[in-house]
Chains A and B, each alone.
Chain A
Amino acid sequence: MRIFALCLIRLIINYMDRLRSIIGIFLLAVIISCQPVKDNRQEETEDLRIISIGGAISETISALGLEHNIIAIDQTSTYPPALSEKVQLGFRNSISAESILALNADIIIAGKENIESTLVESLRQMGQEVYVIEQNFSLTGSHALIAELGKLLGRQEKAYALREALQESMDAISPIENKPRALFIYARGKGAMQVSGHGTSAHAFMEISGFENAMQSISQFKPLTPEALIAADPDVLIFFESGWQSLGGADGIMEIPGIAQTKAGKTRNFVTMDGLKMLSFSSRLPEAILELRNKYNNNLQ
């Protein structure tokens, strides 16, 4: 009799087990079938796991209020500073597919410039959702970046507010008469200095800030030569903070052949900017423009 009861209980438990899995499958089916109906991902984003590759993208996702959803970043993602606690995947070529897979992300959002196309392809083949954003370095591009990420992550309202604020700050910036001629020097130590021609994000930033790029004749980044520097004769030289340090500050820069002969060298009009803030064309764009202008004007006085 007891054995019979035990068998019965066993049977019921077995049956319950099966029932549970049937209920599970049923629920899953309901959830899946419901998904297309929902067009707003607001609720889902609560525990969305994002891998963000590219400084401007990480910055914008954070500005949209989703900083805590970012689980991993690349080396260019330096703002906001709290991101430094996330998993660091490395820089472009050294990002490995396996590390990304290991993180169980729901979505990987990457700037086209910040990720290898072969990596994107292999991640997609393995069923990862990879969203690649090609950024346009202009005010329209900044709006587009914020809007695109807002839509993708279900934060349209927040994105709209960010864009309103961006446009307001941009409208408040007055145009400059007699554009000063600026030259951006990308330096990684004295042996490796490059100037930015047109087609670069640095060129776009100088133009949008009301400066004229003193290196109009070249495209992309080209090595700096003393004669080209003197011929360009810029009023102001712009450096990244990291590059400024690698050159040994203002005194080190004055020793670079050709610098002392330019207007910028004579007046020591050197400006340093944070690389990401200057070139990300994110919601911090107006802030970056004002910073450049203020530093330039302070040097003039």
Chain B
Amino acid sequence: MQTGSGFLRQSPLVWYGFFIIITLLAMVYSLLTGVIKIQTGHLFELIASIWNTDAATGKEALILWNLRMPRAVLSLSVGAALAVSGASMQGIFRNPLVEPGLVGISAGSALAAACVLVFVFPVMGDVSPATSSLILPLSAFAGGLTSTLIIYYIGRNESIAILILAGVAINALCGALIGWVIYYADDSALRSFTFWSLGDLSGANWKSFLIASPFIWLPVLYLCRQHRDLDMLSLGDRQAFHAGIQVESVKKRNIMAVAMAVGASVSLSGAIGFIGLVVPHMIRMMFGPSHKNLMILSVFVGGSLMMLADTFSRTWVQPAELPVGIVTAMIGSPFFIYLIFNTKNKKLL
């Protein structure tokens, strides 16, 4: 496998700085853009207005602090979680096609969330938004973890192809079960459910973000620290074992972390495709397969791409909104096809 050019690999710190700046610029852009225009100079006054209650009552400040800011940080978190999870899964399974969606995490999370929405909430009566924003991430995490563990145990001592086939089967099963749950859904549950299949960040608010952010960021940080083990694993299970890596336990711990991060993001934003698949490939093309750069840069590239995609989803069909999953798939699929051709030519895959 060919690695990135020498210059790119030798100065990672410069590139970390570069991508941090890109992420900040993406955030500023997403905060400035929307139905109501905010001037660039005014933005920083508005951000400062949080310490000055008089200025914080204006409409622009309300929009910035209650709508755009939580949405920007949520999309940053979700994008980072998906990209890092994708990178980690591709490392564990040593397969470039794996993404959280393919090994059943997203489908399992969505199924659990659907069950809770359709069967549990109606029984509980009027559920306060605070309760639902706690129960939904937890059940989505449980669902994602369960489906991933099932797939993991089916393919445990088999080849990776078996594991991926198991993922396809569990995905199909979850899809069928979701369809079955929808059959029992009443009209309103059904409508809020389209959210799970297409991905949507419009429900972002501080409360649900604060509840879910530890579930997202702790596993993301943990996954970023696993780069050495993943580098070893990429040599093959046996080689990694001889290098002193507890192969099974490393895999299991990574899968747990991925399930937690993706489960929590799915519960807040629905199943968003392509970020987990495309972002790690982009970075690998530029910086080679070393997991240290891959994991850390995935956080920034995944986060900023997601923020931009969400900004487009808010503004394309003004004054209405598109589900963000449509945007990521529309940008992601052509880019992925380009990647396939490109890597085929360079024999990178």
Please give the residue numbers on chain A whose beta carbons come within 8 Å of chain B beta carbons, in ascending order: 72, 87-99, 101-102, 104, 113, 116-119, 121-122, 125-127, 220-223
Contacts and interface: CB of A to CB of B under 8 A. Distances in A.
Interface of B: 34-36, 59, 62-63, 66-68, 129, 183, 186-188, 191-192, 194-195, 200, 202-203, 205, 314, 317-323
15 contacts: A90-B317, A93-B194, A93-B200, A94-B320, A95-B321, A96-B35, A97-B66, A97-B202, A99-B35, A101-B63, A104-B59, A118-B129, A121-B129, A122-B67, A126-B62
Nearest to B68: A98
Nearest to A200: B187
A259 B48 CA distance: 66
B187 A98 contact: no
B319 A97 contact: no
Contacts of A118: 129, 203, 205
Given A94-B320, A96-B202, A102-B36, A116 B192 contact: yes
A90 B319 contact: yes
Nearest to B126: A117
A113 B320 contact: no
Given A98-B314, A102-B319, A126 B66 contact: yes
B36 A113 contact: no
A104 B62 CA distance: 13
A25 B19 CA distance: 50
Contacts of B200: 93
Contact of A96 (B62, B195, B319): B319
A250 to B, nearest CB: 28
A95 B318 CA distance: 10
B36 A101 contact: yes
A276 to B, nearest CB: 16
A98 B320 contact: no
A117 B34 CA distance: 22
Contact of A98 (B35, B188, B191, B195): B35
Contact of A113 (B67, B188, B194): B188
Given A93-B195, A99-B35, A121-B129, A116 B317 contact: no
Given A101-B36, A113-B187, A220-B186, A96 B320 contact: yes
Nearest to A201: B187
B66 A94 contact: no
Top-3 shortest CB links A-B: A90-B320, A99-B319, A94-B320
A98 B320 CA distance: 10
B129 A91 contact: no
A116 B203 contact: yes
Contacts of A96: 35, 202, 314, 319-321
Given A90-B319, A93-B202, A127-B62, 8 more contacts: A93-B195, A94-B321, A95-B320, A99-B35, A102-B36, A113-B188, A116-B203, A222-B183
A83 to B, nearest CB: 16
B191 A93 contact: yes
Contacts of B323: 93
B334 to A, nearest CB: 24
Contacts of A116: 192, 203
A93 B63 CA distance: 19
Nearest to A72: B319
A197 to B, nearest CB: 11
A97 B314 CA distance: 10
A94 B203 contact: no
Nearest to B62: A126
A96 B314 CA distance: 8
Contacts of A93: 191-192, 194-195, 200, 202, 321, 323
A176 to B, nearest CB: 29
Nearest to A112: B188
Given A96-B35, A98-B314, A116-B203, A91 B320 contact: yes
A87 B186 CA distance: 29
A103 to B, nearest CB: 8
A50 to B, nearest CB: 16
A101 B59 contact: yes
A101 B62 contact: yes
B38 to A, nearest CB: 11
Given A99-B35, A127-B62, A92 B191 contact: yes
Contacts of A222: 183
Interface-central residue, A95, A98, A220, by most chain B CB under 10 Å: A98
A94 B322 CA distance: 6
Contact of A89 (B62, B183, B195, B320): B320
A107 B66 CA distance: 19
Contacts of A72: 319
A18 B186 CA distance: 60
B187 A220 contact: yes
A194 to B, nearest CB: 10
A122 B187 contact: no
B67 A97 contact: yes
Nearest to A120: B129
Contacts of A223: 183
A113 to B, nearest CB: 7
A116 B200 CA distance: 13
B319 A89 contact: yes
A168 to B, nearest CB: 33
A89 B187 CA distance: 21
B66 A125 contact: yes
B203 A98 contact: no
Contacts of A125: 66
Contacts of B63: 98, 101, 126
B64 to A, nearest CB: 10
A94 B324 CA distance: 11
A221 B36 CA distance: 39
A94 B129 contact: no
A291 to B, nearest CB: 24
